[in-house]
């Protein structure tokens, strides 16, 4: 009785283990290949057909694998490689960051400073071997027209025909005479859509220049001299000018270096 029971138990266990080991379960998708159809369990000796997964193309090997008596599959030899998308070109005034161009890889686009990205900044290589988005465009940032400071005029580097200007455009400020310019003479449309700080035009006056020993001023003496006003000098007989013949009222409110009259060499 006891023997029979143990035999029965043994046989029961035996039967189950044999059953489980004699089927093959559906192989997983690996390295771009997968089993065709939806079958989940295969009997020993049964064939399964492989195919390349979406986004992959076959390059070599057999599509067939066989379920062996031990419940294992024969080795897979089908080689599938991911599809390749075309090499992307960088957009004008921008760049494209690429680490790979195969199926499922992502590329990123950037625009140079002063340019704005219009479109998608990234694109993915699809199973159709095409990029998910077209290359974006990099469009120049624009500034409005620069403000003309009081008593100044603006000279554009290029002719401006609309009421907006492109990034990088330069301008030159000029003060209306006799005012002097304080600040930047040049201005630019910056990437943050603003103009660089404009200069100021201010009045500058210089005091009546000091009399020169043994010489004289040839320009009529005035009570007030303004920026860029000039005064010329001469020397008395027997003396010659040492230094410039003319001095100018500078932005600082001082005169440029004054000459002296020195004795003529005999």
Q: Shortest gap between Cβ of 94 and ligand NAG (angstroms)?
A: 14
Q: How far is CA 104 from the centre of its chain?
A: 24
Q: Which of 53, 57, 74, 132 binds ligand NAG (CB under 6 A)?
A: 132
Judge contact between 175 and 155, C-beta under 8 A: no
Residues 70, 71, 75: CA angle, nearest 5 degrees: 95
Cα separation of the two ends of the chain: 153
Closer to ligand NAG at the Cβ: 113 or 224?
113
Q: Shortest gap between Cβ of 84 and ligand NAG (angstroms)?
A: 15
Asked if residue 25 binds ligand NAG (CB under 6 A), the reply is no
Closer to ligand NAG at the Cβ: 91 or 259?
91
Q: Shortest gap between Cβ of 106 and ligand NAG (angstroms)?
A: 5
Q: Which of 77, 95, 104, 108 binds ligand NAG (CB under 6 A)?
A: 108
The DSSP 8-state label assigned to residue 163 in this structure reads: S
Q: Shortest gap between Cβ of 82 and ligand NAG (angstroms)?
A: 16
Q: Which of 93, 190, 214, 219 binds ligand NAG (CB under 6 A)?
A: 190
Reading phi first (left if > 0) and then psi (alpha if -120 to 50, else beta), residue 5 is in alpha
- C-alpha distances out from residue 52 to 25, 86, 111, Å: 19, 21, 38
Q: How far is CA 90 from the centre of its chain?
A: 11
The DSSP 8-state label assigned to residue 67 in this structure reads: B
Q: Shortest gap between Cβ of 180 and ligand NAG (angstroms)?
A: 24
Q: Which of 70, 87, 163, 257 binds ligand NAG (CB under 6 A)?
A: 163
Closer to ligand NAG at the Cβ: 145 or 260?
145
Q: Which of 122, 142, 219, 256 binds ligand NAG (CB under 6 A)?
A: 122
- C-alpha distances out from residue 206 to 199, 213, 251, Å: 21, 20, 9
Q: Shortest gap between Cβ of 196 and ligand NAG (angstroms)?
A: 6
Q: Which of 194, 207, 218, 252 binds ligand NAG (CB under 6 A)?
A: 194
In angstroms, the CA 78 to CA 12 distance is 40
Contacting ligand NAG within 82-101 (CB under 6 A): 97-99
Q: Which of 22, 53, 79, 106 binds ligand NAG (CB under 6 A)?
A: 106
DSSP strand pairing (230-235 vs 215-217): antiparallel
- CB-based contacts of 214, cutoff 8 Å, min separation 6: 235, 236, 239, 261, 262
Q: Shortest gap between Cβ of 198 and ligand NAG (angstroms)?
A: 12
Q: Shortest gap between Cβ of 172 and ligand NAG (angstroms)?
A: 18
Q: How far is CA 65 from the centre of its chain?
A: 51
Residues within the interface to ligand NAG (CB under 6 A): 97-99, 106-108, 119-120, 122, 132-133, 144, 163, 190, 192, 194
């Amino acid at each position: 009785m006891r023997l029979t029971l143990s035999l029965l138990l043994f046989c029961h266990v035996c039967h189950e283990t044999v059953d489980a080991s004699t089927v093959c379960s559906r192989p997983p998708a690996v390295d771009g290949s997968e089993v065709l159809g939806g079958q989940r369990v295969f009997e020993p000796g049964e064939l399964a057909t492989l195919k390349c997964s979406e986004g992959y193309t076959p390059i070599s090997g057999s599509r067939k694998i066989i379920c062996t008596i031990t419940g294992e599959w024969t080795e897979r030899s089908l080689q599938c490689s991911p599809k390749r998308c075309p090499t992307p070109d960088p957009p004008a005034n921008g760049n494209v960051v690429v680490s790979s161009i195969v199926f499922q890889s992502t590329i990123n686009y950037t625009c140079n400073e002063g340019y704005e990205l219009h479109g998608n900044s990234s694109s993915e290589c699809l199973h159709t071997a095409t990029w998910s988005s077209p290359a974006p465009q990099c469009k120049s940032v624009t500034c409005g027209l620069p403000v003309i400071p009081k008593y100044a005029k603006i000279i554009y580097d290029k002719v401006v025909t609309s009421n907006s200007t492109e990034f990088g455009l330069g301008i030159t400020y000029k003060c209306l005479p006799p005012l002097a310019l304080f600040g930047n003479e040049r201005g630019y449309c910056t990437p943050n859509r603003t103009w660089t700080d404009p200069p100021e035009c201010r009045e500058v006056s210089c005091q009546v220049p000091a009399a020169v020993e043994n010489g004289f001023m040839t320009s009529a003496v005035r009570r007030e001299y303004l920026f860029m006003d000039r005064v010329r000098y001469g020397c008395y007989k027997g003396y010659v000018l040492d230094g410039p013949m003319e001095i100018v009222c500078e932005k600082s409110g001082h005169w440029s270096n004054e000459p002296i009259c020195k004795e003529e060499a005999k």
